[in-house]
Amino acid sequence: MTDYGELNPPLRILMGPGPSNVHPRVLRAMSTPLVGHLDPEFLKIMDEVQELLRYVFQTKNQFTIPVSGTGSAGMETGFVNLIEDGDEVVVGVNGVFGERMSDIAGRCGGKLTRVEAEWGNIIPPEKIAEAVKGKKVKLVAVVHAETSTGAWQPLEEIANISHNAGALFLVDAVTSLGGCPVKLDEWGIDVCYSGTQKCLSAPPGLSPVSFNERARQVITSRKKKVQSWYLDMSMIEKYWGKERTYHHTAPITMVYGLREALRLIQEEGLENCFKRHELNHKALKKGLEKLGLSLHAHEGHRLWMLNTVRVPEGVDEARVRKRLLDEFNIEIGGGLGVLKGKVWRVGLMGYSSREENVLYFLHAMEKILDGEGWKK
């Protein structure tokens, strides 16, 4: 029988589109002994996680929990609970994750209207207004931080357009939560979901979601049961709420890790956390410009947390990524969809968003590009 030996993966500097490096304190928290998922002490931890999530989401929504699953589970949670057959749904598509939302909306039986923009651009609010005009739209959905393009979508105007049309407003904040402001209550976001592996700096495996009262009323007044038993919020709410009714066995260790990750953000302070991400983004942008490189997303709408860097003509983008990994132990991502082979995706998220990482990455890129014979 094969002797597989001890688990010993390399210590990478994770500067791709996710996951980001996990803070050592989070790893230590995850080594804490298990208790049962209905143990009174774990129920207290669940309450604390909800309170901390409300702080990061900047909301008073009582139904703010981590779904057991990755960010894509959060995406499905939003759609399967709110959409029924024939419901009018408007989705902004300017990257891979707008495409994914459209796919899920269709699988839920929604009557889909896509509002499209060039990858790297934002969805113009006036195009959303055109899409909802004269229709009984139930849901409008956009991606706040499009991980495939680096575009940062403004939300307030689209929220107002959605509400004036009588629709709920759903936002994908997988890459933005914890890295830039996500103000659910102030901006009028009805439903929002995120992931733990990006700016929250915990491992992938949970998806924080938040539903306001308006969205909860839509769930309770459905004509049919939610098509997903596992993601049915009408049942999961009873586990995370006062009833504590068993639904599924929560990933206890992941909840420990999320609690510590959120506690770290609270200690740093949200505004300080946002400022750190902004400063490191600006330092990266300045350094890239000195190397003769440019960002893909349009000026004024560029994410701090995820930077899409245009690949210079004549440079093998996959070879550069391989050399970064092999020679410098740095992981970055390649382009997706129409941007495949055209951009590198450089993440500065959570614990990975540090000055020393920016400087080391720029040093590595300079060495590699020089070795590849590229001159600016």
14 domain residue, yes or no: no
Q: Are 144 and 153 in contact, with CB atoms under 8 Å apart?
A: yes
40 preceded by a cis bond (ω within 30 of 0) = no
9 domain residue, yes or no: no
The token pair that represents 61 in the structure block: 């929504």
54 domain residue, yes or no: yes
8 domain residue, yes or no: no
Give pLDDT < 70 ranges for the chain: none
Sign of CA dihedral 70, 71, 72, 76: positive
Clarify whether residues 154 and 77 are in a common domain.
yes
Clarify whether residues 213 and 66 are in a common domain.
yes
11 domain residue, yes or no: no
pLDDT of residue 84: 96
CA distance 41 to 45: 7
Clarify whether residues 222 and 274 are in a common domain.
no
Write out the residue range of the structural domain in which residue 331 sits: 269-371
pLDDT of residue 1: 85
Clarify whether residues 55 and 194 are in a common domain.
yes
pLDDT of residue 375: 75
CA distance 142 to 184: 14
pLDDT of residue 224: 94
Sign of CA dihedral 296, 142, 126, 337: positive
Domain of 315, CATH number, reads 3.90.1150.10
CA distance 163 to 161: 6
Identify the domain boundary among 266, 298, 333: 266
Identify the domain boundary among 266, 295, 311: 266
pLDDT of residue 56: 98
Q: Are 66 and 89 in contact, with CB atoms under 8 Å apart?
A: no
Clarify whether residues 186 and 118 are in a common domain.
yes
Clarify whether residues 327 and 189 are in a common domain.
no
What is the number of structural domains in the chain?
Answer: 2
Q: If we measure between CA atoms, which residue out of 303, 319, 302 comes closest to residue 311?
A: 319
Identify the domain boundary among 266, 289, 310: 266
Kind of pairing between the strands at 306-310 and 343-347: antiparallel
CA angle 309, 261, 232 (to 5 degrees): 90
Q: What is the pTM of this model?
A: 0.96
The token pair that represents 173 in the structure block: 């904040």
Q: Could you tell me the CA-to-CA distances from 349 to 12, 15, 48, 73, 185 in Å, in that order?
A: 14, 8, 24, 21, 24
Sign of CA dihedral 104, 105, 106, 112: negative
Domain of 111, CATH number, reads 3.40.640.10
